[in-house]
A and B are shown apart, each in its own frame.
Chain A
């Protein structure tokens, strides 16, 4: 049971570590100064949440690892993030659409995790929920402005949505270990969130004049360590400094 809990918390941490890193790739390349800072702020929030979740996972595992060991010394097949968050950042529209979909789902998921019986897990989720509310507000307002904007901005975010939406099936992935944890009141059941997530997304897309694609969902695999070709390259960049100088400090 404790290994199922370790996996559950690892997923929460890995999602935010990978997405935080992807957003941080905009630093210095933002469309305007204010947005450069906004994306950096969102990345810092996400990496901070990852540090807390991974730290908790390491304590649950009780093998002497810490958050840094989990972040920098695992290989890609050991990561448990959603495949959606490891996709390249694309254009600004794709980054905002991907952030919006992730934040809309996290709004439900973190709210549920913040109510579980384990205080340490619930506390981290409550803090992340508050930060996520701003990410949701920021990204949804951009999706609305870009969707209901010029011909070019509309075309770009519709294309972004056509691609990103297909990866959201993985939000609702559950295996037997998850169900066992949910029955104990420790983990949250993602199926219960499908409707409020759909309603939230639907309302923003309506204002943005965007439509959901009718294509089938991508295969899931991230929760089991099966990733796209993108994660390996990203981890190489993210982990190179730590791995080149093991044990070094600032």
Chain B
């Protein structure tokens, strides 16, 4: 729980993830303000599920999320882009080996 009061008087911010039907993963839908978890869940239901898009809702305090900074994009992600041998498709299957 955050110990210092927000200066703008707003309730804490929560990120909302909704799961569409069909077993797909939860997707980020947006954010809501709420004083506690139960209220955040209800606010998320009221704001983000009006058009029948969700079968499940997660809410997470925004403060609990650690995100990569835009400036880190180069060192974090560029090295993975020029190493095709990390993908299974790079390899030719030897004769006689069953391919599934």
Contacts and interface: CB of A to CB of B under 8 A. Distances in A.
A38 interface: yes
Contacts of A145: 35, 39
Of listed A34, A35, A38, A41, residue having the most chain B CB within 10 A: A34
B57 interface: no
A246 B93 CA distance: 77
Nearest to B44: A34
A248 interface: no
Interface in A31-84: 32-35, 37-38, 41
B35 A34 contact: no
B32 A34 contact: yes
A interface, how many residues as a size bin?
10 to 19
Given A34-B32, A34-B33, A137 B46 contact: no
A160 B64 CA distance: 37
A38 B43 contact: yes
A38 B42 contact: yes
Interface in B42-61: 42-43, 45-47, 50
Interface string B2-38: 0000000001000000000000000000001111001
A138 B47 CA distance: 14
B50 A34 contact: no
Contacts of B38: 141
Contacts of B39: 141, 145
Nearest to A141: B38
B42 A41 contact: no
B46 A37 contact: yes
Contacts of B35: 145
Given A141-B38, A145-B39, A41 B33 contact: no
B3 to A, nearest CB: 19
Nearest to B46: A38
B50 A138 contact: no
Nearest to A38: B46
B50 A41 contact: yes
27 contacts: A32-B11, A32-B33, A33-B33, A33-B47, A34-B32, A34-B33, A34-B34, A34-B43, A34-B46, A34-B47, A35-B43, A37-B46, A37-B47, A37-B50, A38-B42, A38-B43, A38-B46, A41-B46, A41-B50, A134-B45, A137-B42, A138-B42, A141-B38, A141-B39, A141-B42, A145-B35, A145-B39
Given A37-B47, A37-B50, A145-B39, 15 more contacts: A32-B11, A33-B33, A33-B47, A34-B46, A35-B43, A37-B46, A38-B42, A38-B46, A41-B46, A41-B50, A134-B45, A141-B38, A141-B39, A141-B42, A145-B35
